[in-house]
Every structure is written in structure tokens, then in C-alpha cells.
């Protein structure tokens, strides 16, 4: 396997590179910035990227993780000393194939790499053979992995359901508001998405809106605030929303 090491602490990077060589892998790097890491991946071929979340400079490891997921379609594993809930949540949105907390031993690194390879193979196989489809071209959902696949600007995007704050329908298009602030415009309908999305998490609150209730912060009887966004709630949905989620009031 060709493995890119993205780590800006020289001593740690050298140790990882040496360990990878003794394990029989072909390590590249270390890359110490977002740009250097992207250069290694673009030159390729790359089988896996080990990413330190805390990188110096303008871009951090999570930004690189987003790029790997969206542009390069290359699996990555995070290496970090930060294991707090916020860091884990931010890292999760990039859909890593593993998460290894420093300091780690040789066998921990090997296990993380093998697990990442297995998970990536299973994911690739599932996408090609057992994807549930709505009948709307370009929308697919893997129930077991909670992954949504959509066509955006001619490219397939792989999304974790937890990334989506809400969906807004606009005729034959649906806008997906992501927790990062990015808006994806998908040619489809809200009804098509509603057929796939888990109803314990996604609730239709208006003719034009579906909300991820995990992001709900407050409901005043007319509007729902979710992740800083104020969303309208139709009269038909108000009582049902109040009964189902009384803690929102």
C-alpha cells in the first residue's frame, strides 16, 4: 500500500514513516501542510492517507479530510492527540475509515490500517452492489452505513446523514444545507429524499422543508431553529412536532 503521512511534528512523522516501512508498506512524506498532502495524492497512486488533525498553517487536517472525501475519493485515518467530543464530531463529518489516538503502538497502527482497508473495500462493494435507490437518478442511500450518495455538479458526493441540517425543496431541485455551511443543489424532489431518510431523524416540517431534528435548538410554535437557521413550520405540522418533540419548546 502507498500511504501518505500528513504530520507536522518531525519526530512523530519520522517514527510513523519508519514503522510503516518495517510493516511492509510504502510511505510517502511527511506532508506538513494541506497543499503538500494534496500534491502527494494528486500525483498518486495513493491507497491511504494518515492525517494529523492539528496541522500548522492555514488548513487543518479536517479540511484535508473533507477534500479527500469530496475530491480525491481516497480513504483516510486520523492520527491525533485530541479525542474530545467536538473534535470527534468534526472529524466524523469527513467519513474517515479510522481514528487513532496518539500516542499509539506499532500494533495499533497496523490494526488501524487493516481496518481502514477492510472498511473501504466493504464500502466500495456496497456502493456497487447493494445500494437502495429511490428511482430518482443520482440519489442512493446505504442504510447500514447511514451514507447518502448524491450527484452534485456532475460528481458523486458521499455524505454522512449527520452532515445534513435541513433540506429545502425548490420545484425539481432540492437544496441540502450542510453543517459546514455548504449548500448542495440536487436535481430531485423532497418526496424522493423522504422515502429514503430515516424518519426518526428527518422530519417534514413544511411543504418545502425537511429538518434533521438532531440539530433542533428551539421551537416557538411557528418556527424551528436548527443549527442557527430559522425554518418555517406549517400549521399542519406544528402540533405533531410539539407532541413528538416536547423538549424543543
Average pLDDT, the chain: 84
Average pLDDT over residues 193-220: 89
pLDDT (tens digit per residue) in 139-198: 878 776 678 888 877 777 888 888 899 999 988 899 999 988 999 998 888 888 888 888
By the 8 A CB rule, do 184 and 176 touch? yes
Residues in the chain: 249
122 CA to centre of own chain: 17
pLDDT (tens digit per residue) in 108-118: 999 999 999 88
The ranges of the chain annotated as CATH 2.40.50.1020 are 132-248
The ranges of the chain annotated as CATH 3.40.50.2300 are 2-128
pLDDT over 90 at 129, yes or no: no
CATH number of 2-128: 3.40.50.2300
By the 8 A CB rule, do 102 and 112 touch? no
Number of H helices, E strands in the chain: 7, 17
Write down the pLDDT at residue 166.
96
Write down the pLDDT at residue 180.
86
* End-to-end Cα, the chain, rounded Å: 53
Write down the pLDDT at residue 126.
60
pLDDT over 60 at 5, yes or no: yes
| CATH topology classification for 132-248 | OB fold (Dihydrolipoamide Acetyltransferase, E2P) (2.40.50)
Amino acid at each position: 500500500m502507498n500511504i501518505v503521512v500528513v504530520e507536522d511534528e518531525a519526530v512523530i512523522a519520522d517514527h510513523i514513516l519508519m514503522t510503516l516501512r518495517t510493516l511492509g508498506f510504502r510511505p510517502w512524506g511527511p506532508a506538513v501542510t494541506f497543499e503538500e498532502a494534496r500534491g502527494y495524492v494528486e500525483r498518486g497512486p495513493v491507497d491511504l492517507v494518515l492525517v494529523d488533525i492539528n496541522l500548522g498553517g492555514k488548513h487543518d487536517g479536517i479540511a484535508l479530510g473533507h477534500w479527500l472525501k469530496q475530491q480525491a475519493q481516497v480513504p483516510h485515518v486520523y492520527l491525533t492527540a485530541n479525542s474530545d467530543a467536538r473534535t470527534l464530531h468534526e472529524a466524523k463529518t469527513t467519513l474517515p475509515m479510522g481514528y487513532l489516538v496518539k500516542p499509539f503502538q506499532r500494533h495499533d497502527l497496523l490494526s488501524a490500517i487493516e481496518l481502514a482497508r477492510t472498511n473501504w473495500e466493504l464500502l466500495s462493494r456496497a456502493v456497487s452492489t447493494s445500494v437502495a435507490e429511490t428511482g430518482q437518478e443520482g440519489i442512493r442511500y446505504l442504510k447500514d452505513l447511514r451514507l447518502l450518495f448524491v450527484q452534485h455538479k456532475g460528481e458523486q458526493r458521499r455524505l454522512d446523514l449527520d452532515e445534513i441540517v435541513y433540506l429545502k425543496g425548490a420545484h425539481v431541485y432540492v437544496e441540502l444545507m450542510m453543517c459546514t455551511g455548504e449548500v448542495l443543489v440536487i436535481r430531485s424532489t423532497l418526496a424522493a429524499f423522504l422515502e429514503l431518510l430515516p424518519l426518526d431523524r428527518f422530519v417534514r416540517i413544511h411543504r418545502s422543508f425537511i429538518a434533521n431534528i438532531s440539530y433542533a435548538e428551539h421551537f416557538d410554535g411557528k418556527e424551528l431553529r436548527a443549527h442557527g437557521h430559522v425554518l418555517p413550520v406549517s400549521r399542519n405540522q406544528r402540533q405533531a412536532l410539539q407532541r413528538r418533540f416536547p423538549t424543543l419548546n
